[in-house]
Chains A and B, each alone.
Chain A
């Protein structure tokens, strides 16, 4: 029973982790909590459903959705956030803007697609593998594998490529990065694109897991993933992964042992406890170093 719940939680947690990296990537670069990220995730899931439904085939459908959602992220930055940066406005203005964007995206999805919950076909089929009493569905296994692979790709991009080096430089000192010849606006746009891509894959996986997609799905998932990102130490990729897994496992444990009423609360209870004990999160850095 416990083992089963741990596996259920890990699969779910991988989904949260993929959303959480989006928060972390953008926070790392802009020191901004992008509250529209939950809506981007819902947008990605809806797009994945639409394009898979258009007989594009699963891979082509998801790739199309990934690109579209990534471009949505870039548009948000170019249209709403970049003008604020250019005016050197206060950080709180950008933060509130992202909340507004979140509402705009969610409501546009409702206007064009309707607010009802729609059935999302299980991408990976209904098969399962049994280990004694524990049942692992193909969907759960694939969720873990795909998420893990994506995490590794993301780490490779950030730590081993030239654009990754530019991202890390921009994180630490965007003024000096520009002096090195780095086009900081491009790096930020690229980061929004990556966050959108990850959110789409998370949307397709979690949507496929629950076999349901709806415009408001990003609200709770976004908040929980934000909790996961803060829990792991916002700005840190391994932190987002660990935070997502902790939130996922504790949620599925809470649903079993405390009743499903508490499943949504548990992520935030853990978040509060961790922040009291370790204010920078599990992998968080000690504030921002000044030299």
Chain B
């Protein structure tokens, strides 16, 4: 569904991505793990067109989306829950969700979207009038994921959904990711919490210094000695 081939991206003079090859198949959960500065967020930003790539190709459903304008992704069927959540703090929960469905024109589809999100995250329904800035970190993360689902995307990009959350919220967010995947949404998950990410993923890519150092079945990667040492803290 999403295919990245030989992608190179520069941050100024820094060669941040040095030829990335990656593929996310329909219906899969694919996780992208790696330490700070490995290039995870740069890769996501390149997919979103925020960082311009100098070389290589990104395609979504066989359509070339290399260096696309960010705002066109939603219409193509890609939903994004960005790092740091980035909810609209002074707008209400409901308005935030409405913005998620900005590219949806049918009223029916929008109300279906609300129903779906409120069913996944009942907490958001309780607080629909509250402004997003007053929500807790975990609730804001639910809102960011819910907002991305409002456009009924086929592919969901989740950047660090567990960052800075209490352990019970982390568990809950990962359960939700599995649930969303069961509803037929393909998921690309970028995570520092490699342990959790690998436990729910089908496939995984390990990023190191701007290149893919290891890729394959998530279960195999979780068993790999190097990964266990470097990311899982298990000697």
User: What is the interface of chain A, defined by CB distance below 8 A to chain B?
Assistant: 162, 165-166, 168-169, 172-173, 175-184, 289, 291
**Cβ–Cβ < 8 Å partners of A291 in chain B:** 85, 87, 89, 132-133, 140
Q: A165-B95, A175-B50, A176-B82 are in contact. Are A183 and B89 (CB under 8 A)?
A: no
With the chains together, A176 CA to B87 CA distance in Å? 7
In this complex, the interface size class of chain B, counting residues with CB under 8 Å from chain A, is 20 to 34
Contacts known (A177-B99, A182-B102); A172 close to B90, Cβ less than 8 A: yes
Report whether B86 and A182 are in contact in the complex, using a CB–CB cutoff of 8 Å: no
17 A–B contacts from the bound complex (CB under 8 Å): A162-B102, A165-B98, A165-B102, A169-B91, A169-B99, A172-B90, A175-B50, A175-B70, A176-B88, A177-B99, A179-B71, A179-B73, A181-B75, A183-B71, A184-B71, A289-B133, A291-B133
Report how far A45 CA is from B72 CA in the complex, Å. Answer: 38
- Would you call A172 and B89 a contact (CB within 8 A)? yes
- Mark interface residues in B47-83 (1 if CB within 8 Å of A CB, else 0): 0101000000000000000000111111100001010
CB distance from B90 to the nearest CB of A (A): 6
Q: Which of A175, A182, A183, A289 contacts B99 (CB 8 A)?
A: A182
Q: Which residue of B lies closest to A176 (CB)?
A: B86
Give CA–CA (A118, B48) in the complex, Å.
Answer: 54
Tell me if B215 is interfacial: C-beta within 8 Å of chain A.
no
B86 and A175 contact, CB distance less than 8 A? yes
CB distance from A248 to the nearest CB of B (A): 30
* Smallest Cβ-Cβ distance to A186: which chain B residue: B71
B147 interface contact, C-beta 8 A: yes
How does the 8 Å CB contact mask read for B85-125 relative to A, with 1 for contact and 0 for none?
Answer: 11111110001001110110000000000000000000000
Judge whether B211 is part of the interface by a CB distance below 8 angstroms. no
A179 pairs with B80, CB closer than 8 A: yes
Q: Are B151 and A181 in contact (CB under 8 A)?
A: yes
Residue of B nearest to A184 (CB): B71
Q: A172 — which chain B residues lie within 8 A by C-beta? A: 88-91
Q: A168 CA to B102 CA in the complex, in Å?
A: 13
A182 to chain B minimum Cβ distance, whole angstroms, is 6
A-contact bits for B129-170, CB 8 A (1 contact / 0 none): 000110000001000000110010000000000000000000
- For B88, the chain A residues whose CB sits under 8 A away are 168-169, 172-173, 176-177
**In the assembly, what is the distance between CA of A165 and CA of B95, in Å?**
8
Q: Are A182 and B71 in contact (CB under 8 A)?
A: yes
Identify the closest chain A residue to B135 (Cβ). Answer: A291
Known: A175-B86, A291-B89. 15 other contacts (CB 8 A): A165-B95, A166-B102, A168-B90, A178-B70, A179-B70, A179-B71, A179-B74, A180-B71, A180-B74, A181-B71, A181-B73, A181-B102, A181-B151, A289-B90, A291-B132
Residues of B within 8 Å of A162, CB to CB, are 102
CB distance from B202 to the nearest CB of A (A): 25
Known: A165-B99, A184-B71. A179 touches B89 (CB 8 A): no
Q: Which A residues lie within 8 Å of B82 (CB)?
A: 175-176, 179
CA distance in complex: A175, B50 (Å): 9
The docked-state distance in angstroms from the alpha carbon of A172 to that of B50 is 18
